[in-house]
Structure 1
Amino acid sequence: MSHPHPELPLPPALPAGGLRVIPLGGLGEVGRNMAVVEHDGQLLVIDCGVLFPDDSQPGVDLILPDFSAIEDRLEDIQAIVLTHGHEDHIGAVPYLLRLKPDIPLVGSQLTLALVEAKLKEHRITPYTLAVREGDRERLGVFDCEFIAVNHSIPDALAVFVRTPAGTLLHTGDFKMDQLPLDGRITDLRAFARVGEEGVDLFLTDSTNAEVPGFTAPEKDIQAAIDAVFRAAERRIIVACFSSHVHRVQQVLDAAERSGRKVAMVGRSMVRNMGIAADLGYLRVPDRVLVDVKKLDTLPDDEVVLICTGSQGEPMAALSRMANRDHRIDVGQGDTVLLASSLIPGNEHAVYRVINGLMRLGAEVVHKGNAKVHVSGHASAGELLYCYNIVRPRNVMPVHGEWRHLVANADLAIATGVPADRVVLAEDGVVVDLVDGVARVAGAVPCGYVYVDGSNVGEADEDLLKDRRILRDEGFVSVIVVVDSSTGSIVAGPHITARGVAEGEEIFEQVRPRILEALAEAAAKGVGDQHQLQQAVRRAVGGWMGGKIRRRPMIIPVVIEA
């Protein structure tokens, strides 16, 4: 296996007749998926998604791939190929098109419809090319064939890229549901066919590589959903991802069978399901769907709400219901169904919502106590099948944290792929396919790019560190007025603390230290305002660390009079 190294140099120019892959997201993390393929001076982008922030990134809305490696080569991009319509694969498209709005977008009908709705909010009208399984399109030097794969959103595609330098098969996110709700299975015949032709580099989904066996089919959760509908005394509130068309379909079907009406809550849920219904991917039974404003006129035992917030997002509908900050008043006898997985890092937020709902008297059904979710990703057994069918010459696991990538690499080796042909890489690590052999060629800068309100890329780690300190430790401000000619203290020090548990009277103990530090600076002839502020900061910081074991942000202000 080839491992990335922190001191990898910038890659040399791609050798003539070579194929290069530059992962700009999705390797070493779950999200922000983006790969750039290069041949003969031209680029093909596969997916362009976002990563959602965790607790260590306060105030951040989204995390984007770092486009700096291709920013001066936008003219070379032949197209952006989108494998499916999830945010971690399409969410960053508007930010790349801001740099060059006429880059063609290629994807399935539903995927493009979801992207176009997103781009409309950014006032970008894209050039799009809709494709379906079996289609083959020439995008510059890249000859792309699209293959049906099954996932937790309809219309997902794998892409097989033919170039004079070799071939590449990118699965996107996929699983092998043999009984999918829409009848559209992963096309293993096509995988076998391109395998016979020869797959020089296989980029395959690693998300469930650690999970043994096979991922359960989506239809397996219908029994659990029906059981919830049979047992519910009052309203049923279902929370799931706003793009999970198949899950919403099962809820609509259960509502029709039980004689209940359904209302959708949440802007993204209403938008995405409206698009899916208009395009025929979602079958809405007659007279089942109602406007949320009409719920007050219906008996509670005839009501179903489908909303966002299954990951505990603070502004999503379900979280607001749990906090009694929503027009829907959850109470005794209501049933809440969390029909989704638990994304790592969101556990505390989700459990907080569950506890809040149960405190209000609701019964909460979730993955921990009922089979109400199945994954959208291939488990180890399915990946083994893929390797044996495709028989790739080189493998590069994608889409997953490091542990997922390693597990996927081990599966490839177990099926007979030589260990030195399995390339483990992280974001920014460049892999070249030259003369049929894939190897690490170097690395490009590939940091996090934060969307912070209206700012893109302005927030950095120093800013987030300050926010974490303010959040966790609070701040202390110290204002002192000094005589500009003598350096003696005219007024102060005035100390104000926020977010510090101790009362302000304790800060009387630090005043002598501040006075001593300033007197010492004056004796040394220090009159520079910045140096005086640093002296105050050191005095207060040293005292707080030793006395109350806290490290708040210290804001010294020295005013010369």
Structure 2
Amino acid sequence: MSHPHPELTAPGPLADGGVRVIPLGGLGEIGRNMAVVEHLGKLLVIDCGVLFPEEHHPGVDLILPDFGPIEDRLDDVVAIVLTHGHEDHIGAVPYLLRLKNDIPLVGSQLTLALVEAKLKEHRITPLTLGVHEGQREVLGPFDCEFIAVNHSIPDALAVFVRTSGGTILHTGDFKMDQIPLDDRITDLRAFARIGEEGVDLFMVDSTNADVPGFTTPEREISPAIERVFHTARRRIIVACFSSHVHRVQQVLDAAEESGRKVAMVGRSMLRNMGIAAELGYLKVPDGVLVDLGLLTRLPDDQQVLICTGSQGEPMAALSRMANRDHKIDVGEGDTVLLASSLIPGNENAVYRVIDGLTRLGATVVHKGNALVHVSGHASAGELLYCYNILRPRNVMPVHGEWRHLVANGHLAVQTGVPRERVMLAEDGVVVDLVDGVARIAGAVDCGYVYVDGMLVGATDETMLKDRRILRDEGFVTVIVVRDASSGAIAAGPEIQTRGFAEGQEAFERVRPRLVTALEEAQANGVIDSYQLQQVIRRTVGSFVGSTLRRRPMIIPVVIDA
């Protein structure tokens, strides 16, 4: 299998008639999915999603793909193809369209409706082309055929890209649920047909590649949800992804059967489910759905709330309930159903919410103690079937962390794909397909782009490091006043601290050291303010590190008076 190397240089010119794939997100991470396909001087973008920040990204709202490698070629982009409506595949579309708002968006009915609602908030009216399974559209030099796949959101599509230089099948996120709730199965007959035609490069979802066997069908969790509704004594609170139409449908059906009313909490939940209901993807039983104000006036044993916060997001409804910072007071006898899986990196936040709810007296039902959620991604057994049906010439695992990509590559090799034809790439690593053979051609600069309040791209790793230090280590401010004419210390050093368990008196011991260090610097002819600031920083840093075992941010201020 081909591994990327840090010494990769910029790729050379694409061979005549060749096809180039540039992943700008989604490889080595769960989120930020975006791939660019180049052929005959034109570009086709597949997905454009966001990554949600973790604890080591303080103050960051969203993380975008790096548009830098294509920013000066936006006129060459013929379309953005969206495989489905999850945030990690559509969330960055508004930020790309800010750069050029007339790039056409291509996707299924539900996918486009969800992205259009998002774009409305950004005051962007997009050009759109709705497609459905079995449809073919020519987009510049790319002949795209759309294939039905099932996932944890309706209307997901794979895309088969035909070019004069080779063919590419991109699965998007998918699984092979044979009894899906909406009866829309992954179209294996289409997979077999294009397999006979020939797949030169298979870009395949890797999220569950290290999970043996087959992903559990969605229908099998209905009994667990119904059991919760039959045994709950008081209110039921269900937390799930705001785009999980199938899960919300199961909750609505269970509520109708048990004689309960349902209210939805959370702006994204209300928006997405409103769109799904309007388009017919969500069937709302008559009289079951009410607004929150009416629901709270009903007896507790008739109430069901569906809210966001299944990943422990601090500002989401469920986290606020756990912290008693929400109008809904969770208490003894309530049942909370976490109808979602854990996204890697969110485990600690989710368990904090579970502990908080349990402490308040609620019974918390989650994937760890009941079958209340199944994955939306194909496990190893399903992927093996796909490899054997398609018989791809080259494989490029996508959508997954490194362990997932590597596991997917091994599956490809087991089914007969030559080891050297499996492209294990990461974001920015360029893969060229020429004469049916894929190879790593180089790499482009491709980093994280942070959305921080109203700013995009202004925050960098240095700033985040400063924020982490402030958060974890505290800070020390040292103010020194110098006589402007003589350079002698006229006042100070004045020491102020924040974020230390030790009292201010702990820092009195460093004051004599500072005075001595500053006098020595002056005697040695050091008069520059910046150099004196460095003397202060070194002296205080050495003291705090050796005595308090801390590495705070140190802010020296030298004032000439």
Normalising to structure 2: TM-score of the pair?
1.00
What secondary structure, in the 3-state scheme, does the structure 2 residue paired with 1:494 have? strand
| Counterpart amino acid of residue 369 in structure 1 | N
Give yes or no for contact 1:3–1:423 (8 Å, CA) kept in 2: yes
Give yes or no for contact 1:170–1:204 (8 Å, CA) kept in 2: yes
What secondary structure, in the 3-state scheme, does the structure 1 residue paired with 2:31 have? coil
What secondary structure, in the 3-state scheme, does the structure 2 residue paired with 1:426 have? coil
Give yes or no for contact 2:296–2:303 (8 Å, CA) kept in 1: no
| Counterpart amino acid of residue 538 in structure 1 | R
Equivalents in 2 of 1:364, 1:399: separation in Å? 30
Corresponding position of 2:27: 27
Corresponding position of 2:416: 416
Q: Which has the higher mean CA deviation after the structures are superposed, 505-514 or 148-157?
A: 505-514
| Counterpart amino acid of residue 54 in structure 1 | E
What secondary structure, in the 3-state scheme, does the structure 1 residue paired with 2:73 have? helix
Corresponding position of 1:208: 208
Please list the CA deviations of residues 11-44 of structure 1 after superposition, one character each: whole Å capped at 9, or x if unmatched.
0111101000000000011110000000000000
Corresponding position of 2:155: 155
| Structure 1, unaligned runs of 5 or more | none
Alpha-carbon RMSD across the aligned residues, in angstroms, is: 0.6
Corresponding position of 1:297: 297
Equivalents in 2 of 1:409, 1:354: separation in Å? 36
Equivalents in 1 of 2:506, 2:281: separation in Å? 65
Corresponding position of 1:220: 220
Give yes or no for contact 2:103–2:127 (8 Å, CA) kept in 1: yes
| Counterpart amino acid of residue 371 in structure 1 | L
| Counterpart amino acid of residue 215 in structure 1 | T
Between the aligned residues of both structures, percent identity stands at 80
Give yes or no for contact 2:513–2:539 (8 Å, CA) kept in 1: yes
Following superposition, the deviation at residue 520 of structure 1 comes to 1.1
Corresponding position of 1:401: 401
Corresponding position of 2:288: 288
What secondary structure, in the 3-state scheme, does the structure 1 residue paired with 2:296 have? helix
What secondary structure, in the 3-state scheme, does the structure 2 residue paired with 1:550 have? coil
| Counterpart amino acid of residue 370 in structure 2 | A
Corresponding position of 1:343: 343
Corresponding position of 1:131: 131
| Counterpart amino acid of residue 224 in structure 2 | A
Please list the CA deviations of residues 392-451 of structure 1 after superposition, one character each: whole Å capped at 9, or x if unmatched.
011111000111011000000100111111111000000000111000000000100000
Equivalents in 2 of 1:524, 1:550: separation in Å? 30
Residue 42 (structure 1) aligned with residue 42 (structure 2): yes
Give yes or no for contact 2:331–2:361 (8 Å, CA) kept in 1: yes
Equivalents in 1 of 2:320, 2:16: separation in Å? 57
Equivalents in 2 of 1:537, 1:252: separation in Å? 61
Following superposition, the deviation at residue 485 of structure 1 comes to 2.2
Corresponding position of 2:254: 254
Corresponding position of 1:187: 187
Give yes or no for contact 1:255–1:261 (8 Å, CA) kept in 2: yes
Corresponding position of 1:473: 473
Please list the CA deviations of residues 87-133 of structure 1 after superposition, one character each: whole Å capped at 9, or x if unmatched.
00000000000000000000000000000000001000000000000
Equivalents in 1 of 2:404, 2:457: separation in Å? 28
Corresponding position of 2:428: 428
| Counterpart amino acid of residue 139 in structure 1 | L
For 1:285-364, what aligned pairs fall within 5 Å after superposition?
285-364=285-364
Corresponding position of 1:240: 240
What secondary structure, in the 3-state scheme, does the structure 1 residue paired with 2:356 have? helix
Equivalents in 2 of 1:452, 1:61: separation in Å? 6
Following superposition, the deviation at residue 501 of structure 1 comes to 1.4
Corresponding position of 1:278: 278
Equivalents in 2 of 1:556, 1:487: separation in Å? 17
Corresponding position of 1:70: 70
Equivalents in 2 of 1:494, 1:467: separation in Å? 24
Following superposition, the deviation at residue 296 of structure 1 comes to 2.6
Question: Aligned residues, how many?
Answer: 561
Equivalents in 2 of 1:378, 1:232: separation in Å? 33
Equivalents in 2 of 1:419, 1:407: separation in Å? 13
Aligned structure 1 segments of 4 or more residues deviating by more than 2 angstroms: none
Equivalents in 2 of 1:52, 1:73: separation in Å? 27
| Structure 2, unaligned runs of 5 or more | none
What secondary structure, in the 3-state scheme, does the structure 2 residue paired with 1:210 have? coil
Normalising to structure 1: TM-score of the pair?
1.00
Give yes or no for contact 1:309–1:316 (8 Å, CA) kept in 2: yes
Corresponding position of 1:167: 167
What secondary structure, in the 3-state scheme, does the structure 2 residue paired with 1:223 have? helix
Give yes or no for contact 2:24–2:427 (8 Å, CA) kept in 1: yes
Give yes or no for contact 1:484–1:527 (8 Å, CA) kept in 2: no
Equivalents in 2 of 1:274, 1:260: separation in Å? 20
Q: Which has the higher mean CA deviation after the structures are superposed, 526-535 or 248-257?
A: 526-535
Corresponding position of 1:93: 93
Please list the CA deviations of residues 165-224 of structure 1 after superposition, one character each: whole Å capped at 9, or x if unmatched.
000000000000000000000000000000000000000000000000000000111000
Please list the CA deviations of residues 25-75 of structure 1 after superposition, one character each: whole Å capped at 9, or x if unmatched.
000111100000000000000000000111111111110000000000000
